[in-house]
Amino acid sequence: MNRLAIRQLAYFVPDVRVAALAHHRLHGSGPYFIADHIPLRRCVHRGVERPLDHSSAYGQWGDLMIEFVQQNGEGPSAFRDMFAQPGAQGLHHVALFVDDVDAAIGDFAAAGHDLACRAEMNDGFVFAFVDTVAAQGHMTELYAPVPQLTGFYAMVARAAQDFDGTDPLRPIQFN
């Protein structure tokens, strides 16, 4: 497996707005772009197709993107695999750019790490959570650095460059 740099730290939280604002106030991170009810074309969790309704806040903290994610509902998911109790929260995953998501899933499987979730957004963008909890204490998210993703990362980083604390929470929408 190639050496891959962590591109994002993601925390599972009960409320993305509360968490993002608290992180901003403590660390000066942000601004945070809030996406509610992120639409997915398909989500397969532990081999079973399931709906996944989630919301996220994305912001910049130094060189890393920070994500706060909440699940809108109580069904099984890669998030609930780690945080099953109501109100539970913490580091859920680190995200890596990989050339080929499915090939990377295979590499992780060969190293003994099961696929927790593979999802596809409405525009065809694929992401996956590999269960690296026993080895690393968190999941590992995989996605390819396609233009819509790298453009999003660049937009978040640019917004942080001149961020003066004004409007720390900003709505966005994914189609």
If you average pLDDT over residues 5-21, what whole number do you get?
97
pLDDT in tens, 24-82: 999 999 999 999 999 999 999 999 999 999 999 999 999 999 999 999 988 999 999 99
- Report the run of H or E that residue 107 belongs to, with start and end: helix 101-110
CB contact set of 167 (below 8 Å; sequence gap of 6+)? 31
- What's the pLDDT at 1? 47
Number of other CB atoms surrounding residue 148 within 10 Å: 12
**Residue 45 in 3-state DSSP?**
strand
d(CA 116, CA 128): 8
d(CA 16, CA 35): 9
If you average pLDDT over residues 147-164, what whole number do you get?
95
If you average pLDDT over residues 85-108, what whole number do you get?
96
How big is the chain by its Cα radius of gyration, in Å?
15
> pLDDT grade, residue 2 (50/70/90)?
low
pLDDT in tens, 106-143: 999 999 999 999 999 999 999 999 999 999 999 999 99
34, 28, 6: which is closest to 156 by C-alpha?
34
Number of other CB atoms surrounding residue 38 within 10 Å: 17
CB contact set of 71 (below 8 Å; sequence gap of 6+)? 12, 52, 53, 54, 77, 79, 80
